[in-house]
Chain A
Amino acid sequence: MRRLVIPGELITERSVKLGGGVIAEDGGVHASTLGLLDEREGYVRVIPLSGRYNPKEGDFVIGVVSEAQNTYWVLDIRSPYRSILPGSEFHRELRGNERLRDLLPVGSAVYARIKEVTKTKGVFTTLRWRGTRVLNEGYLLDVSPSKIPRIIGKKDSMINVLRKEGGCKIIAGHNGVVWIEGSPERTAIIIEAIRYIEENSHRGGLTDHIKEMITQKRSEI
């Protein structure tokens, strides 16, 4: 079981490599985020329990178009920073008289990759990457970004259970947005399962439990 640490709490006075959620000050390493301590040989970090999504290069996010300009779109990615999707990063070229807002009007949802985060937190995304796409149907569920790793699971184990047992298409963005496409009944089961994972993310044997839970619910439809 991992130790819960509170901002300011001393973790170690040894010299260690620092991961996220910690700060070295006053001759010690202290927690800087409320979370669970991940301490290994010569390395510490705090796995946050809450907090907004902080964009990182290489992450995959689900964003919603909030502006469509002449040469770029602005994506809301539920982060402190809006992200830019340049027109040139759409998966195909413009044709004829097409404008960007014809391709992706405001309100469109996309699954995009973060291509670059500049020093001043300019966030640039792309749809020119395997797996990225425009999301044309389905429901978007907001979850805490800190729970996304648990919803995906080790080597996709959890999200594959959700997909297979739940009979839905599911994509989990690192920014805490989950896309679900399936019948209303099935979607409702997936939402319930994801909420359960969020609340019980610390428990062992969660994957098996979720499997049973979904099977049980689906037999009741």
Chain B
Amino acid sequence: MKKEGVKLIENGKRLDGRGLDELRPIKMEIGVLKRADGSAYVEWGENKIMAACYGPREVHPRHVEEPDRAIVRVRYNMAPFSVPDRKRPGPDRRSVEISKVTKEALEPVVLTHLFPRTVVDIFIEVLQANAGTRCAGITAAALAMADAGIPMRDLVASCAAGKIDGKVALDLMGLEDNYGEADLPVALAPNKKQVTLLQMDGNFTRAEFEEAFEKALGGCLKVYEMQKKTIRKKYEV
């Protein structure tokens, strides 16, 4: 996180006109791919994310299967054209880490004991990135899993909060992420009230952290409402 002379808040408004507690505009769609068992597309500010879910299905390679439960695998991937400087195809350290924490954000809600010796595969493709792709990816993935009929004890919704110009703000966009002082992405299983993702970088005082944490969790609940609306719109008659 850099601290440079870019003013990110002016007259209480952020560069894109948002207040400190406002999310970027979010659009969600479910069931957008034919081949996948479940899928979802999420536009979150300037992020454009596709998620797909396959399974439960047989595990390949066989030796990674678990005798008493399903495993969950996540592949987070950025399309080469999703960032201004072309991303070379294939996994890098960043996407491997995000895949791992995303898996750990989603796995707690999956009723894995119902499908021993199988895998639930989740694929997240970032088509256009602008800060917050992991939150949008987790949110899309949870929708794709529900769409695939995966047995889950809850959905998972994700959102970040951060610090810009010394103030705690919800859902940083690209510029704010570049010039802000801290970022805190979290994911929440809303009915279970369980935090399943928590990462932070930058600088928060103890008090600022608590404020940001509250804000991010509040953001998750808003995202959760949108997820439910998206599902109802698709499936309700």
Contacts and interface: CB of A to CB of B under 8 A. Distances in A.
Interface of A: 1, 4, 6-10, 21, 23, 25-26, 30, 32-35, 48-52, 54, 80-82, 120-121, 146, 202-203
Interface residues of B, number: 34
Given A23-B111, A50-B37, A80 B118 contact: yes
17 contacts: A7-B146, A7-B155, A8-B155, A8-B190, A9-B191, A23-B111, A23-B153, A30-B191, A33-B150, A48-B149, A50-B147, A50-B148, A80-B56, A80-B57, A80-B115, A121-B115, A146-B149
A8 B109 contact: yes
Interface in B138-155: 146-155
B237 interface: yes
A113 to B, nearest CB: 22
Nearest to A26: B192
Given A7-B155, A35-B149, A51-B150, 12 more contacts: A6-B228, A7-B151, A8-B152, A8-B190, A23-B153, A32-B153, A52-B149, A54-B114, A80-B115, A82-B58, A120-B67, A120-B117
Nearest to A119: B116
A4 B236 contact: yes
B50 to A, nearest CB: 18
B93 interface: no
Contacts of A10: 191
Contacts of B237: 1, 202-203
B234 to A, nearest CB: 10
Contact of A33 (B151, B189, B192): B151
B149 A50 contact: yes
Contacts, number: 91
Contact of A6 (B55, B118, B150, B155): B155
A202 B228 CA distance: 20
B127 interface: no
A144 to B, nearest CB: 8
Contacts of B63: none
Contacts of B228: 6
Please name the 5 residue pairs, one residue from A and one from B, whose CB atoms are nearest each other, closest first: A51-B149, A8-B154, A50-B149, A8-B191, A7-B152
Nearest to B31: A50
Give the residue among B38, B189, B231 with the most A Cβ atoms within 10 A.
B231
Nearest to A52: B56
Interface in B8-59: 37-38, 55-58
A30 B189 CA distance: 13
A42 to B, nearest CB: 23
A141 to B, nearest CB: 15
B37 to A, nearest CB: 7
Contacts of B152: 7-8, 32-33
Contacts of B109: 7-8
Given A34-B146, A34-B231, A80-B58, A50 B38 contact: yes
Contacts of B114: 54
Contacts of A34: 146-147, 149, 231, 235
Contacts of B154: 7-8, 30
A20 B228 CA distance: 21
B88 interface: no
Contacts of A49: 149, 235
A33 B153 CA distance: 8
A8 B153 contact: yes
A179 B60 CA distance: 29
Contacts of A30: 153-154, 191
A8 B192 CA distance: 8
A52 B118 CA distance: 12
Give the residue among A4, A9, A54, A80 with the most B Cβ atoms within 10 A.
A80
B143 to A, nearest CB: 10
Contacts of A203: 237
